[in-house]
Structure 1
Amino acid sequence: MSAAPRRTASGARHSVRAWDGPTRLFKWALVASVAIGYLTYQIGDAALTWHIWNGYAALILVTFRILWGFAGSSTARFGAWITWPWSALAYGGALVTGRARRYLGHNPLGGWMIVVLLLFVAAQAISGLFTVDSNGISGGPFANLDFGDPTPVQRTLSRWHHQGFYLFLGFAVVHVVVNLLYEGVKRDPLVRAMVTGRKPAADYADQPEMVPASHVWLRALVCLVLAAAIVFGTVASFGGKLPF
């Protein structure tokens, strides 16, 4: 259990730890990866190599986040913010009526939004492994594998890879707008907490303060190396062509 937040001489409570460094670094690295993926796609063939490497980076980041959901600090773990669907609905009802409690980590609805966004990024990255370009010459590491009837499979995955991004973008915009509304209307510094790692001390519904994982950066490094090994190892084991 974490210690109770200390008070200043005037009685005001300090801020408390909300997110560890690796979780925050992952968050902004994933944002950068999505932006780079879009930009390199818009540039076209001249940035194809960068686009492919960025796809691997996105897939490694998602894999890292899955591992970090079990090995990270208390607010980063899945058990802290993935709830039953009816709990998320109950929170939504309380939010509408103005009775929703504050959460140190992700609230029940926000937790499900994070799951959806991670699934979208994973779907984009995985479909990119099979994607072929319009002339059929270049593509992902599985673009030239024989699936028995490869053209329909590859065209379907390519279509998702190219068009699914805009569906993901819609969810991402909703996520950003909601976070800004929490900042401006509810005075809950969700965005700032993902930068500073801290929130004002309060009576949070989930936990009073983040409990950091032991040797947190070493754990994160191990998870990152393992994530890279899983991604590249899986591609290689199924006969995909690696970019190095």
Structure 2
Amino acid sequence: MTQQPVTRVHKPVWDIYVRLFHWSLAASILFAWWSGEQGGNWMEWHMYAGYSVLTLVLFRLLWGFAGSYYARFSEFVRSPVHTLKYSLQLAKRQEPHYIGHNPLGGWMVLLLLLLSAAQAGTGLFANDEIFTEGPLVHLVSYDLSVELTRWHKLIFDGLLIAIGLHLLGVITHQVFKGEKLVQAMLHGRKLAGVEETSYPFAPLLRGILLAALAALIIWGLLNLL
């Protein structure tokens, strides 16, 4: 008996906040790198980029619990055993299709969030021993500030490696598997079987409130400590 091909249609997956977060974080990290390389007066803008990264990461953490279905950690963070099984299936080219993040992609999201937070967080206490100091450098000793500055640079190297792996995964799916991930992160829709359940996006107002809350927390951290 001939198996009928699965009919696929575009279904909403990535809400506007996931998409804005994704591109805003990429732009903030890129600008932070560039402005840090320029030094001098650009270091003030470098710090602003770091504040943006912290705000974005905090918002994404909140959205991971209160956002749309496919934005939630409970949907895409699988157990290590599940992820290992998926990796073995991937090696055999027998992996199942996921509308949202696959298990490896889910763990990569967590890794990128962790490294981004650590990178920007250590920057709050960093100093270049010449001209620029982080806004919270007064809370730690000089020696600890120097050590955190060293970690600020080391973590960025790790972040670059993680970003490279992320891009490699995107290219693999985009070019070799024909899965339009870049386009999906622009318009929010992905191909899925017609029988697969669609989930409505979370209310826009909820995202606005959580974004404002994240910004307020970071502002308080920078100005009240």
TM-score after normalising by structure 2: 0.92
Question: Which whole-Å CA distance do the structure 2 matches of 1:78 and 1:47 have between them?
Answer: 36
Which residue does the alignment assign to 1:234?
A: 221
Q: Which runs of 5+ in 2 are unaligned?
A: 1-5
Question: Which whole-Å CA distance do the structure 2 matches of 1:188 and 1:26 have between them?
Answer: 21
How far residue 172 of structure 1 moved from its aligned partner, in angstroms, is: 0.3
Q: 1:101-112 residue pairs with structure 2 within 5 A?
A: 101-112=96-107
Cα distance 1:178–1:154, how it changes in 2: closer, same or farther (>3 A)?
same
- 2:8, 2:194 within 8 Å by CA — same for their partners in 1? no
**After TM superposition, where is structure 1 displaced by more than 2 Å over at least 4 residues in a row?**
11-14, 201-204, 207-211, 234-237
Greater percentage in helix: 2
Query: Over residues 181-207 of structure 1, what are the superposed CA-to-partner deviations in whole Å (9 max), with x where a residue is unaligned?
Result: 011112222222111211112279xx6
Query: Over residues 82-136 of structure 1, what are the superposed CA-to-partner deviations in whole Å (9 max), with x where a residue is unaligned?
Result: 111111111111111111111111111110011001100000110000001132x
TM-score after normalising by structure 1: 0.85
- 1:18, 1:199 within 8 Å by CA — same for their partners in 2? yes
Q: Confirm or deny that 1:223 pairs with 2:210.
A: yes
The SS at the match of 1:188 is coil
Which residue does the alignment assign to 1:162?
A: 153
- 1:182, 1:189 within 8 Å by CA — same for their partners in 2? yes
Percent sequence identity over matched residues?
37
Which residue does the alignment assign to 2:171?
A: 180
The SS at the match of 2:71 is coil
RMSD: 1.8
How far residue 15 of structure 1 moved from its aligned partner, in angstroms, is: 1.0
Question: 189, 197, 213: which one pairs with 1:198?
Answer: 189
- 1:201, 1:208 within 8 Å by CA — same for their partners in 2? no
Q: 1:1-244 residue pairs with structure 2 within 5 A?
A: 13-135=8-130, 137-145=131-139, 147=140, 150-202=141-193, 208-213=197-202, 215=203, 217-237=204-224, 239=225
Query: Over residues 143-170 of structure 1, what are the superposed CA-to-partner deviations in whole Å (9 max), with x where a residue is unaligned?
Result: 233x3xx122111110111232122101
Question: Which whole-Å CA distance do the structure 2 matches of 1:73 and 1:50 have between them?
Answer: 32
Which residue does the alignment assign to 2:3?
A: none
Q: Which runs of 5+ in 1 are unaligned?
A: 1-10, 240-244
Which residue does the alignment assign to 1:6?
A: none
Which amino acid letter does the alignment assign opposite residue 135 of structure 2? P
